[in-house]
Amino acid sequence: MIEFNHVSKVYKEVKALDDVSFTVGAGSVTAFLGPNGAGKSTALRILVGLSRATSGSATVFGRAYAELDGPAHRVGTMFAPNAYHPGRTGRESLTLGAMTLGLPRRRVDEVLDLVGLTHRESRRVVKGYSLGMRQRLGVAHALLGRPGVLVLDEPGNGLDPQGMRWMRGLLRGLADSGCAVLLSSHLLHEAEEVADRVVVVGRGRVLAQGTMDELNRGRTLEQTFFDLTAGADRSVA
């Protein structure tokens, strides 16, 4: 469903991504794990056509995002939680999204229920939302078109423990229904709780990837992540 094939990205003399390759299959959650500045957001932006790779390719359903028919229906994305007009209500923001996608307005109520935003909360203007509420709104927008692929950048930011449990349950349910979920995170615990596979990235390079069992065999994922956040820059077995 998702494939990164030797993707590199260079900004002037800075290599933000260095030969990144991994795949995300249908019915699975893959956590793209690394500290802030590791290159996670750059990779996701390349995947959905917001940035161009210097070399290599990133595809969804075997094609570049821009080449998909109705890409917003097939790929749900969430990036900046502050992307919504602060003077509009959450419901208005979702309604505009539904209209753009040619969806009936009842879909707005469906996704609001999915993400746990109440009727009263949906009528509040976005500038009054907490970060956690903005995250829920972003996930709701990503789900409008009933996509087969979800690409979420740090979806757990701003969520309290109850919100984190809700997020894990939602993503697990979507994957179990056949969706391919790729989420970036700098929180190891978040990845361990929900991911089928983990891709660990540091300084733009993939340092380790595999299932949780594979990464915890012989060398713990916790130690790998500790080395990464401490500044280690080497491949991990």
Task: Kindly state the tokens that stand for 55.
Answer: 């070399």
Rounded to whole angstroms, how far apart are CA atoms 70 and 59? 15
> Do 199 and 21 contact (CB within 8 A), yes or no?
no
If you average pLDDT over residues 138-159, what whole number do you get?
92
- pLDDT (0 to 100) of residue 64: 96
Task: Measure Cα distances from 88 to 91, 105, 122, 155 in Å.
Answer: 8, 17, 10, 22
pLDDT exceeds cutoff 80 at 26: yes
Is the per-residue pLDDT at 110 higher than 90? yes
Length, in residues, of the chain: 237
Q: Where are the domains of the chain?
A: 2-81+148-229
Task: For the chain, give the percent of residues with pLDDT over 90.
Answer: 65
Q: Which amino acid is at 63?
A: R
pTM: 0.88
Q: Which of 74, 70, 44, 80 is nearest to 61 (CA)?
A: 74
Q: What is the mean pLDDT of residues 37-43?
A: 91
Task: Specify the DSSP element, H or E, that contains 88.
Answer: none
- Strands (DSSP E) contained in the chain are 2-11, 14-24, 28-33, 55-60, 75-78, 149-153, 180-185, 197-202, 205-211
Task: Please tell me the CATH code under which domain 2-81+148-229 is placed.
Answer: 3.40.50.300
- Average pLDDT value over all residues in the chain: 88
Range in 67-76, 106-115, 153-162 with the lowest mean pLDDT: 153-162
Q: What is the pLDDT of residue 157?
A: 82
